[in-house]
Amino acid sequence: MSLFLSLTIFLVLISLGFNMNNFDKKEPIVSFRDVCVSFNSTQILKDLSFDIYSGEIVTIAGPSGSGKSTILRLLGKLIYMDSGEININAQKLGMSFQRSALFNSMTIWKNVALALEETTNLSKKKINKKVQAALELVSLAHTEKMYPDELSGGMQKRISIARALVVSPEIILYDEPSTGLDPGTASKLEDDMIRLRDKTGVTSIVVTHDFDTIKKVSDRVLILYDGKIRWEGTKNEFLTDESPYPRSFRERTSIEDLLPPT
Ligand code: ADP
Ligand code: MG
């Protein structure tokens, strides 16, 4: 009897364990709760809350100055919040900045290898393998001996993505990836972003005000305005929902008219 009882308890615990595991899978990889940030007494993020799930490409869409880069800087721990809570369920983040920020005096190989050389004890051979793999992911393996100013702006941006990817991050952050690129180059970069997610499963957080980028890469869209997420939905909902925020993006009307009077 007691054997039966302990067996039952054992099975119940195991099934609880399974349930916990299932539950874990739905845990967000990033969550913001009531995050506030002010600069010089102007509040930029006002009790901002949102969740991001593993493997998705989420775009945070908002007009210039709405605090998009601030969100990425918080994630990268480059700045701190005034209050609130941020949970990141990942060991490594890769950040590709709005400007490529490559070192002009170093070869492309060195630019991409640097993070590994500085933060790991990997052998040169292993580092080289990872650099090659990262460059191949953005289809630029042939540029390794070149210098940044020998490459176009679009190629430099793709190198900065390779540099972010070389440490095998679980999350990659893109700040305005298509800004400053002609439509054809932007479109290729967006193809890269989708392919990277498909190949590596990396969770991708893209901040942008570019409608074409949002339309192309997003699984889900969050609209940031006046310090808060004002709307969220799937890409399809973003493209069809008749509510004011997605409509204002689609019709490129002024989002400023949408706020309720305070
Ligand atoms: P976005 O990326 O959406 O264009 P940002 O997050 O860069 O917007 O900035 C949001 C607002 O906060 C802007 O008005 C900007 O001038 C201001 N801001 C951002 N960083 C700082 C800072 N370090 N010091 C002062 N003001 C800042
Ligand atoms: Mg910005």
Contact 60, 35 (CB under 8 A): no
User: Which strand (E) or helix (H) includes residue 72?
Assistant: helix 68-75
| Cα–Cα distance, 201 to 195 (Å, whole number) | 9
Whether the predicted pLDDT of 256 surpasses 60: yes
- Using the mean position of ligand 2's atoms as its centre, give its distance from the Cα of residue 234 in Å: 23
pTM (two decimals): 0.84
Structurally, the chain folds into a number of domains equal to 1
Pocket of ligand 1 (CB under 6 A): 39-40, 44, 62, 64-70
| CA atoms of 120 and 115, how far apart (whole Å) | 8
- CATH number assigned to the domain comprising residue 128: 3.40.50.300
> What tokens were used for 239?
């493209």
> Sorting pLDDT into bands at 50, 70 and 90, what band is 208?
very high
Which atom of ligand 1 approaches the CA of 62 most closely?
A: 3
Rg of the Cα trace of the chain?
21
Residue 74 pLDDT > 80, yes or no?
yes
Strand bridging mode 57-61 / 42-52? unpaired
Residue in 252, 241, 181, 182 with CA at minimum distance from that of residue 211: 252
- 161 is in which domain, residue-wise? 3-258
**What is the reported pLDDT for 255?**
65
For residues 104 and 86, give the distance between their C-alpha atoms in angstroms, rounded to a whole number: 35
What is d(CA 168, CA 228) in angstroms, rounded to the nearest whole number?
31
User: In angstroms, what is the span from residue 67 Cα to ligand 1's centroid?
Assistant: 6
For strands 220-225 and 228-234, give the pairing.
Answer: antiparallel
The tokens of 193 are what? Answer: 């972003």
